[in-house]
């Protein structure tokens, strides 16, 4: 059975900044062993919490007053080790999240002005530390062709 790490909020856990979840039925029903993780809770943020965003190369509250970058950098290192030890075959990440988003997370410059979209702080570093690990977000998971492509990569990743 495939082992997939999943952004905890996608499994229905109320860990988001607003105290809510974003449970995705098609992920919850996946015939895989699903391992939840939440980078923001993992690096010590409370629930609920002030919203954060990607500001320059930092991860800060949206008012720029609190900088979580160093704690998140440490969490990414520890979590990558934990997930390697668990033998995961891939990960499903929450789109648009400042931590978990893969490609569509809003980005801001050092003054807080929008600059476009890109990867979330955790996802970018996870990919840097473990580039072979298959990744997908819940939007692509709900597209049959993209899900099949991801599952094929995850199966091969387990064999290699
Ligand atoms: S998107 Fe990621 S960091 Fe945000 S609540 Fe979900 S699991 Fe936690």
Ligand 1 centroid – CA 152 distance (Å): 25
Domain positions in the chain are 3-47+69-103+118-159
Task: Look up residue 150 and give its two tokens.
Answer: 């991801």
Q: How far apart are CA 67 and CA 140, in angstroms?
A: 31
Residue with tokens 């905890």: 8
Write the pLDDT tens digit of every residue in 32-58.
Answer: 999 999 999 999 999 999 999 999 999
What are phi and psi for residue 49, nearest 5 degrees?
A: -150, 160
Ligand 1 pocket: which of 12, 18, 100, 102 to mutate (most atoms within 8 A of CB): 100
SS3 content of the chain, % helix, strand, coil (to 5): 35, 20, 40
Give residues (CB < 6 A) around ligand 1: 7-9, 15-16, 38-40, 94, 97, 99-100
- pLDDT given at position 158: 66
Write the pLDDT tens digit of every residue in 81-132.
Answer: 999 999 999 999 999 999 999 999 999 999 999 999 999 999 999 999 999 9
Q: How far apart are CA 11 and CA 111, in angstroms?
A: 34
**Whether 119 contacts 127, CB under 8 Å:** yes
- pLDDT given at position 159: 60
Average pLDDT over residues 132-142: 98
pTM for this predicted structure: 0.96
């Amino acid at each position: 059975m495939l082992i997939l790490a999943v952004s905890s909020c996608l499994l229905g856990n109320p860990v988001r900044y607003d105290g809510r979840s974003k449970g995705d039925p098609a992920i919850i029903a996946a015939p895989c062993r699903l391992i939840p993780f939440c980078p923001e809770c993992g690096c010590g943020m409370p629930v609920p919490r002030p919203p954060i965003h990607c500001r320059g190369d930092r991860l800060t509250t949206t008012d720029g007053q609190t900088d979580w970058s160093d704690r998140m950098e440490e969490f990414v290192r520890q979590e990558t080790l934990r997930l390697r030890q668990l033998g995961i075959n891939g990960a499903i990440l929450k789109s648009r999240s400042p931590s978990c988003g893969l490609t569509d997370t809003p980005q801001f410059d050092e003054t807080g002005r929008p600059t476009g979209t890109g990867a979330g702080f955790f996802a970018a570093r996870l990919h840097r530390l473990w580039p072979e690990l298959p990744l997908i977000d819940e939007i692509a998971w709900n597209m049959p062709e993209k899900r099949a492509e991801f599952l094929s990569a995850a199966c091969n990743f387990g064999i290699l």
